[in-house]
Structure 1
Amino acid sequence: MRQQERLGLILDRLAKHGTVSVLDLTTELSASPASIRRDLKALEDQQLLKRTHGGAVAAEVIYELPMRYRTGRHQEEKNRIAQAAARLVTDSVHSVGLGGGTTTTELARALGSVGRSLKVVTNALNIAGDLSVRSAIDLVVTGGSVRPESYELVGPIADRALAGIHLDLVFLGVDGIDATGGISTHDEVEAQTDHCLMQTATRVVVLADSSKVGNRAFTRIAPIEEVAMLITDSAAGAPDLERLRAAGVEVITV
């Protein structure tokens, strides 16, 4: 297992339990105690945890998990969601928008591997990098201020670049989706740019694994009425999905 994946799993465990031990992590991650201690030090240096004798505890301040550490979490589910989303891009779809996130990144890779002509607009630097070498993709990148946690370009420059654009489909990753709270993310500037991207679309499709369903993050991106479809995995809670359907969202589970 790569160190980056281990770091993400350690932070995931901390978020759930508040504490981790070197002994438990050694067994769970099939790594040596020395490797786990180096991992904990690397995370402490970024103020993402506080080391203790024999382990670590969660930092007093809750930080948004950087995207590089989210890669690998719920990966199988995200791959299935991305494949289902790619099937929506039929021959009648000529333009799509892709927001940032791990699941939209998987979707970008799926679309890039097909080889069909398609215009893609994105504000995500990593997605732009993946698609820039695909000759069939007509790629448009918004510009804007870089948000390191998500590799997204956000702010007024990005918002202005999206004004006046029309896209057939927009695929958006979120940190929370809830029937009454709408869709949400951790950063208010990112939320504004995401909403500008949504406004370019004939249809908005949210891609979110089950850990996001029924949750609300810090800032609302848009009310649920602006979402046409949610693609999630089968572990999402049935009551949450029923409330979303009742609110008019088409829900696909994979």
Structure 2
Amino acid sequence: MKRHERLAGLLELVIERESVHVDDLVRELGVSAATVRRDLDELAEQQLITRTRGGATTAPGSSDLPLRYKTTRHPEEKMRIAREAASMVEARQVVGLNGGTTTTEVAREIASRPELRSPAPGDEVVVVTNAVNIANELAVRPHLRVVVTGGVARALSYELTGPLATPILEQVTLDVLFLGVDALDVAHGAAAHHEGEAAVNGAFVARANRVVVVADSAKLGRTAFATICDIEAVDTLVTDTGADRGLVKELRRSGVEVIRV
């Protein structure tokens, strides 16, 4: 296991269990106690966890993983989801992208699609995003126009949040929004761990003619702290083939088109 993957897995275990012990991590990860202690110390230095005698606990506010660690989770599924989502984009469309690992992959797939690379004047795709990492990658693509919302950058997700983000969104209309979420459930809708992200994402939803949730199956049937939108606002879900069949049926009954790739 690569070091970055080990750190991501370790951080995920701490967040899920709230408290862990070195001996348990040694057994589960198959590494030495010295390695576990070094990894815990590094995560603690980043203020992602709190070190305790013999282990670690969650740090205040650590309800979700930083984006740099999320990239190691379900990479193949996210790539398939991204390719399917990007195939929906047509010339002249205005596309919304919030932050997250899956939407970042969608942005890359949109940028690399040959059909969109040499647009006639006025035919270029316009991308509206509140994710500074996505804007950074797409800004150098001459065949795309990139519009960035205002707001305060959040270190965990690279998303711009807060009241400065909404004035721009109130002035645009999106043909399609590719929405990354922390959780999607029929009863509770789409949700995020952070209330600031959820509020801006909800503003994106309100301005979109079509809302496409892009989420791997691990996020389905789960709930998170802050609601983005009700399930009725979601038009399409693009997920992987690991999605629970019963949950897929529930989503389809609620009016959501479900695409599994």
> TM-score with structure 2 length normalisation?
0.87
Q: Structure 1 vs Structure 2: percent identity of aligned residues?
A: 44
- What is the CA–CA distance in structure 1 between the aligned matches of 2:198 and 2:14, rounded to whole Å? 26
Contact 2:185 2:223 in 1 (8 A): yes
Contact 2:90 2:125 in 1 (8 A): no
Question: Equivalent residue for 1:42?
Answer: 42
Contact 1:13 1:20 in 2 (8 A): no
Contact 2:151 2:161 in 1 (8 A): yes
Q: Please give the per-residue CA displacement for 1:217-248, whole angstroms capped at 9, x wherever unaligned.
A: 00111111111001111112222221111110
Which residues of structure 1 form unaligned runs of 5+? Answer: none
Say whether residues 1:170 and 2:177 are aligned partners: yes
Aligned amino acid, residue 159 of structure 2: E
Partner secondary structure for residue 37 of structure 1: helix
Question: Equivalent residue for 1:23?
Answer: 26
Could you list the runs of 4 or more consecutive aligned residues of structure 1 that deviate by over 4 angstroms after TM superposition?
Answer: 15-18, 31-35
Which residues of structure 2 form unaligned runs of 5+? Answer: 117-123
Say whether residues 1:186 and 2:193 are aligned partners: yes
Question: Equivalent residue for 1:198?
Answer: 205
Give the root-mean-square deviation of aligned CA atoms: 2.1
More moved, 64-73 vs 118-127: 64-73
Aligned amino acid, residue 27 of structure 2: D
1:137 Cα deviation (Å)? 0.9
Contact 1:44 1:50 in 2 (8 A): yes
Partner secondary structure for residue 191 of structure 1: helix
Say whether residues 1:101 and 2:100 are aligned partners: yes
- Paired residues in the alignment total 248
1:37 Cα deviation (Å)? 2.9
Gap change, CA 1:161 and 1:82, over 3 Å in 2: same
Contact 2:150 2:166 in 1 (8 A): no
Say whether residues 1:252 and 2:259 are aligned partners: yes
Contact 1:5 1:71 in 2 (8 A): no
Q: Please give the per-residue CA displacement for 1:47-105, whole angstroms capped at 9, x wherever unaligned.
A: 5253554xx344375612111111111111111111110111134x6220101000000
1:4 Cα deviation (Å)? 3.3
Aligned amino acid, residue 124 of structure 1: A
